[in-house]
Structure 1
Amino acid sequence: MSAASTSTPHVDLAVVGAGIIGLATAHRYLADHPGRRVVVLEAEARPALHQTGRNSGVLHSGVYYRPGSAKAKLAVGGRSSMVEFCRRHGIAHEVCGKVIVAVDRTERERLAVLAARAVDNGVEAELIDARRLAEFEPYCAGVEALHIPSTGIADYSAVCGVLIAEIEAAGGELRTSTRVVGITESADSMRIATTTGDLEAARLTNCAGLRCDQVAALAGAASGYRIVPFRGEYYELTPERSYLVNNLIYPVPDPSFPFLGVHLTRMIDGTIHAGPNAVLALAREGYRWSDISGAQLREHLANRGLWRLAQRYWRTGAAEVWRSLNKAAFTRALQRLVPDITVADLVRSPAGVRAQAMDPDGELEDDFAVTTSRRSTHVLNAPSPAATSSLEIAKMIVSGIEA
């Protein structure tokens, strides 16, 4: 071994990205392999600033996802694991249940399909009439609803805090303000170039979220996947109107569109969040219309799959943009579920950006997606329910490292 390589720090596992999946992976690896050296590399000054820190805090039950898919399996197991983790560590959470509400006959038919899917996925669910719906949500309008008692809410930022504390207690290291700029894989190690110095790792796991495809490309493991960022914008009900929502109220999703639609969610602090819509972001971290990246614009314009998506969903996409620009239109979407909500009841809340992968065929990836090289693992699609599923995703990743 050369003097240069001897002086380069060496670890057993380098994890890129300190969101909830990256932290859960480092935590799981150290739990399974006490005494090994692990470093988590985070480009931002603090962990969990993007998808993890800006999500709605929902503990998803697993009702929406295609039976047999990774999302379905990992959401069901992950919800139970996350509830147990929160209980064990005294993290704020509540299994409060939710309703998915049909407002007309067409939606009742789609609701019946969801009810059957819940059965296939092993999720407890009950179709209820308007009278029963009013018992759960007195201000909600609907002809029928699917009640999912296992859905809940949790403080995922607090979960990350516990994961970091236990990683560091086990000898792991979190390096913030450290961006990965190069990856070279050899027969026995990964050499990782970062903005704070190089290191070598026996294994690398990429959980970089909005930048995961770029990190994977450095390792030659993107496999044709690319991230298409979608901004989700939220409002919040004013405190004096929070009584309009008890827990979680969701619409029946459009099966042809890969988002759940504008909904109402009680957060763990008691506030009621409304949203999100889904508009194409003009930067990876594009939380506002004014956040524009020239590189991202060029990537969008060159993306033939995105053009095909726009042709297919242009009406839906136009409606999402209109709701983004027009508060009254956003309010009308909410009034389908809770008619008493008015424009004056809503105040802006921080937006999030979903790291949605497009597959090599130019289609939006519907399931979790992971690629591998000889010494690296890359999580290339992990939108909702990834936070719910994070402990089980970590278990899957670590078992794959050892395989």
Structure 2
Amino acid sequence: MTAGEEFEIFLVTAPGLEAALCAEARERGFKAPTRVKGGVTVTGGWPEVWRANLELRGASRVLARIAEFRALHLAQLDKRARKVPWGEILRRDLPFRVEASCKHSRIYHQRAAAQRVETAIREALGASVSPEAEICIKARIEDDLCTVSVDTSGETLHKRGHKEAVAKAPMRENLAALFLRLCGFDGSEPVVDPMCGSGTFVIEAAEIAAGLKPGRSRRFAFEQLAGFDAAAWRRLQEKGGSQPPPAARFFGSDRDAGAIQAARDNAARAGVAGWTEFRQQTISDLTVPEGPPGLVIVNPPYGGRIGERKRLYPLYNALGQVLRARFAGWRVGLVTNDASLAAATGLPFAPPGGPVSHGGISVMLFQAGPLS
């Protein structure tokens, strides 16, 4: 695969958020964004792979699809895997690993399939196999069609590289970004999270408003691939330059002092401390910020996650009472796994969108507002 060659790039996201990620990819100028189950496909070359990792907030991984062929048995898989130009993709001096999945195929043994691809690469290229390798080749065999991809991200992209402290049951950054997008947030309005934990929603909103690239503080697996151009990568990182500070401000509060300190530390590492404010307080002490209305977005505890569900109804009810009394004109986004908990707020929520997988729990985004 040459530097200028285009191929399919698969942007992975949580099931249920494909449309939101597709909209983001289109907005960021990626070619031919198409929703598929579990993510979005776009077309491009290696620079687009780099840019997707650097700029897309809603993706959890970026997979470069490097080959596709039919494989009806393991010997055929071995033979056709050897025809992939591995020397143009992998470095012989760095280890790799292979993950395989099989669905509705005559090849059904995933570990055996992974071993065949490992052997093909090792013997064709001379690189070593290691279960701890950062470079991961993914072979997906579905209906006897094998799609071979390289995971160009490494660690999942919700790990922005500047959030070290986390609270209980944290919202992942890529999910937070897409929930903000679904609520219509574009960076121009204030955001309040009254149960902010370690600050994910607030920090993500401030970064969006400031035009900061989500991948600016971390490294990626593609930096270890053959043909990686470090100088071109630096130019891409620097592209766009500095932007004026956002006019809006972003507020988080939580009753847990440790969570508030974590949020402040995370905001400082992210470079958004100047536009964020975190305060230890209960829901009953929540006050509306000065200035124009904006978005209240909150990920409260829910049953099966933190605490028992029956004990949470008073919390949701108190949240709703405070928002109705003090936040006229503000929109509300609430993430929970239980429609009855959302109803306990008494807020005029529209029917939620489809469920989204969050840490193995199906959650929904409930939206209301502007409140009267």
Larger Rg: 2
Assess same fold via TM > 0.5.
no
Higher relative contact order (CA 8 A, sep 6+): 1
> TM-score normalised by the shorter chain: which range applies?
under 0.3
Structure with more helix by fraction: 1
Q: TM-score, normalised by structure 1?
A: 0.25
Q: TM-score, normalised by structure 2?
A: 0.27
